[in-house]
Structure 1
Amino acid sequence: MYKEARIYSLLERVENAILLVREQTEHIVAPDDFLNSSSGMFLLGGVCMQLIFIGESIKVLDAKNAGYLVHYPEIPWREIMGLRDVIAHEYHRIDAEEIFSVIKNDFPVLLETVQRMKKEI
Structure 2
Amino acid sequence: MLYMYDRELLLEDFKNIIWALDQIFKRFQAIQSSDDFLKDDIGLEKLDSICMQLINIGEVLKQVDKLTDSKLLVNYPEIDWKKAKGMRDIITHHYFDIDAETIYVVCSEHVPEMKKVIARILIDQGA
Partners of 2:23 and 2:45 in 1: CA distance: 15
Contact 2:79-2:114 within 8 A present in 1 as well: yes
TM-score by length of 2: 0.92
> TM-score under structure 1 normalisation?
0.97
* Structure 1 residue runs without a partner (length 5+): none
Deviation at 1:23, TM superposition (A): 1.1
The answer to whether the 8 Å contact 2:6/2:67 transfers is: no
- 1:64-103 alignment to 2 at 5 Å? 64-66=67-69, 67-103=71-107
How many residues were matched structurally? 121
- Could you tell me whether the CA contact under 8 Å between 2:21 and 2:115 is conserved in 1? yes
Aligned equivalent of 2:31:
28
Identity, % of aligned positions: 34
In structure 2, the partner of 1:106 is 110
Pairwise CA RMSD: 0.8
4+ runs of 1 displaced by more than 2 Å?
none
List alignment gaps of at least 5 residues for structure 2. Answer: none
What CA deviation, in whole Å up to 9, does each residue of 1:12-64 have, x standing for no partner?
Answer: 00001001110121110100000000111111011100000000000000111
Q: Do structure 1's residue 19 and structure 2's residue 22 form an aligned pair?
A: yes
